[in-house]
């Protein structure tokens, strides 16, 4: 395993060679195709052992360091940026004009593609400009030129033509993200640094709107529909699977009279695995906006299996209003808090705390970022840091590390915790308590972590992933009615 600061050229090259050999041997032994740029090569790596994916990560990390070191510091801050700008420009052109779909597919791998002139005529484009754009991407192994003046697919460009989800992701990045990136610093200049409002963002500036991100999307059908398709694509990724919800918290220990509230739970996609992991008498209340709730209640569009529906209640609720379901065992929020700045996240959580009992939990499923740069392999680090900046770009929001989560929770409970214990007839038990992290667990294969939140002592230490066994002390054993 590479040390975080490994930068010896020879050792990095040896790491690359050793990892590449292991990957080739594993693929051959398991009858999988080897990686290839060829149009008919594999579109992704197969599902495999954790060790295999760790080896891939080591290869990517070492290869990236080797490339950057061989490029030199000056290239990293000049030519790399130059190429990135024009790569994005070319990808946007290809997406906007659906260029990949115009290039014929070739299942034999022996075809000669299509001429630039014919492709341009077919798409109504200028042949010279088309050639400029595609040759930029060919340097990234996206499209190829089998003969001078002709273009054919590689494995990557074929995906743009045949995989709707990947094409949508490319479209979102080039059409809906790239223009906002160009306005991020301008938004800071206009409205000031550190603004918490979701209406003072790069998106606000680019679209000249006073609406927050998702409300604006509803007014712009092409953007709205592309974002909807993107979410469908991303949630199909095993890293984002709803099933991870059931493995991040010991739902089975909830008493049979418990109520679980899924805040901003949409149609109940995540509440279903929770229901399956809890006792048959546990009730689930899924809260969202009125139009979402109306669709969720409709049997024709419900995602809740018929045998579970009598346990579900769908409730219209604005999470910036006081939580109406009091005494629930768990208030669950998945990918909700990260949509908000610290100020708004505290405001949101403070609507829940007065509804809790001393034994209630808030369970948050979101990213937990590393506390400093350089603690993760670069490929993982880049994904997390890009996600963090994406939240700023769209919502003036952020992903948080453990200390930031703890600080956020303590502020959310400030001045409210003692009242919760007093209302339960336990005023003395609330002394010295704060709203804080009980445990953080990352289900295997999940991109997100599950943060178990409750009332903890002021000097409480957080249980980490060692708590995967579910031995979280003091889970609710009596939760009241849970009625609003």
Q: Spell out the residues 6+ positions from residue 310 whose beta carbon is closer than 8 angstroms to its own.
A: none
pLDDT of residue 61: 96
Among candidate residues 298, 364, 306, 370, the one with its CA nearest the CA of residue 331: 364
Mean pLDDT estimate for the chain: 93
pLDDT of residue 201: 97
Residue 458 — pLDDT band, cuts 50, 70, 90?
Answer: confident
- DSSP secondary-structure letter at 108? S
Instruction: Determine the Cα–Cα distance for residues 69 and 466; give it in Å rounded to an integer.
Output: 37
Give yes or no for residue 1 having a pLDDT over 80: no
Is 338 a catalytic site residue? yes
Q: Which residue ranges form the domains of the chain, and what is each CATH number?
A: 9-71 (no CATH), 74-162 (1.10.10.10), 165-236 (no CATH), 242-457 (3.40.50.150)
Residue 163 — pLDDT band, cuts 50, 70, 90?
Answer: very high
Give yes or no for residue 461 having a pLDDT over 70: no
Q: Give the tens place of pLDDT for each residue, 229-263.
A: 999 898 888 888 888 999 999 999 999 999 999 99
Q: Give the tens place of pLDDT for each residue, 435-454.
A: 999 999 999 889 999 999 99
Give yes or no for residue 468 having a pLDDT over 80: no
Q: What tokens does 401 get?
A: 């590390």
Q: Give the tens place of pLDDT for each residue, 47-89.
A: 889 899 999 999 999 999 999 999 999 999 999 999 999 999 9
If you average pLDDT over residues 391-414, what whole number do you get?
A: 97
Q: Give the tens place of pLDDT for each residue, 264-279.
A: 999 999 999 999 999 9
pLDDT of residue 469: 33
**Cα dist from 425 to 160, 357, 369, whole Å:** 62, 10, 38
List own/partner pairs for 136-143 with CB under 8 A and 24 or more apart.
Answer: 136/86, 136/87, 136/89, 136/90, 137/87, 137/90, 137/91, 137/94, 139/83, 140/87, 141/37, 142/91, 143/103
Give yes or no for residue 31 having a pLDDT over 80: yes
pTM over 0.85: yes
Q: Give the tens place of pLDDT for each residue, 202-222.
A: 999 999 999 999 999 999 999
Instruction: Determine the Cα–Cα distance for residues 181 and 243; give it in Å rounded to an integer.
Output: 33
Q: Give the tens place of pLDDT for each residue, 105-138.
A: 997 767 789 999 999 999 999 999 999 999 999 9
| Percent of the chain's residues with pLDDT above 70 | 94
Give yes or no for residue 33 having a pLDDT over 60: yes
Instruction: Determine the Cα–Cα distance for residues 40 and 110; give it in Å rounded to an integer.
Output: 11
pLDDT of residue 466: 36
Q: Which one of 233, 317, 338, 340 is the catalytic residue?
A: 338
């Amino acid at each position: 395993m590479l040390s975080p600061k490994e930068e010896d050229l020879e050792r990095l090259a040896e790491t690359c060679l050793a990892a590449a050999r292991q990957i080739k041997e594993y693929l051959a032994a398991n009858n999988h195709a080897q990686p290839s740029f060829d149009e008919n090569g594999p579109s992704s790596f197969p599902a495999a052992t954790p060790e295999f994916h760790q080896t891939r990560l080591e290869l990517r990390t070492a290869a990236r360091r080797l490339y950057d070191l061989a490029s030199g510091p000056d290239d990293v801050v000049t030519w790399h940026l130059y190429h990135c700008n024009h790569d994005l420009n070319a990808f946007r052109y290809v997406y906007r004009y659906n260029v990949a779909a115009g290039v014929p597919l070739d299942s034999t791998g022996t075809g000669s593609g299509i001429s630039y002139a014919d492709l341009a005529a077919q798409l109504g484009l200028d042949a010279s400009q088309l050639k400029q754009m595609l040759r930029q991407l060919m340097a990234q192994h996206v499209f190829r030129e089998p003969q001078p003046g002709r273009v054919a697919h590689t494995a990557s460009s074929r995906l743009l033509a045949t995989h709707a989800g990947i094409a949508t992701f490319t479209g979102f990045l080039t059409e809906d993200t790239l223009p906002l990136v160009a306005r991020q610093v301008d938004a800071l200049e206009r409205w000031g640094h550190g603004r918490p409002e979701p209406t003072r963002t790069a998106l606000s500036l680019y679209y000249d709107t006073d609406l927050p991100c998702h409300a604006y999307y509803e007014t712009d059908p092409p953007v709205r529909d592309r974002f909807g398709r993107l979410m469908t694509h991303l949630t199909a990724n095993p890293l984002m699977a709803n099933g991870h919800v059931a493995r991040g918290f010991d739902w089975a220990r909830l008493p049979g009279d418990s109520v679980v509230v899924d805040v901003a739970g949409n149609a109940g996609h995540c509440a279903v695995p929770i229901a399956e992991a809890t006792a048959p008498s546990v009730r689930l209340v899924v809260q969202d906006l009125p139009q979402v709730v109306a669709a969720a209640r409709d049997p024709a569009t419900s995602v809740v299996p018929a045998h579970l529906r009598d346990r579900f209640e769908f409730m219209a609720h604005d999470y910036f209003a006081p939580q109406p379901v009091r005494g629930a065992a768990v208030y669950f929020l998945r990918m909700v808090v990260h949509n908000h700045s610290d100020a708004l996240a505290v405001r949101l959580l403070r609507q829940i705390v007065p509804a809790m009992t001393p034994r209630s939990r808030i369970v948050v499923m979101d990213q937990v970022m590393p506390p400093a740069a350089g603690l993760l392999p670069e490929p993982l680090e880049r994904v997390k840091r890009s996600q963090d900046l994406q939240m700023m770009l769209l919502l003036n929001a952020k992903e948080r590390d453990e200390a930031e989560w703890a600080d956020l929770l303590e502020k959310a409970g400030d001045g409210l915790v003692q009242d919760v214990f007093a209302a339960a007839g336990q005023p003395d038990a609330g002394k010295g308590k704060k709203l804080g992290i009980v445990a953080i667990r990352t289900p295997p294969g999940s991109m997100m972590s599950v943060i178990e939140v409750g009332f903890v002592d002021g000097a409480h230490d957080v249980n980490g992933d060692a708590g995967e066994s579910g031995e979280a002390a003091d889970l609710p054993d009596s939760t009241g009615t849970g009625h609003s």
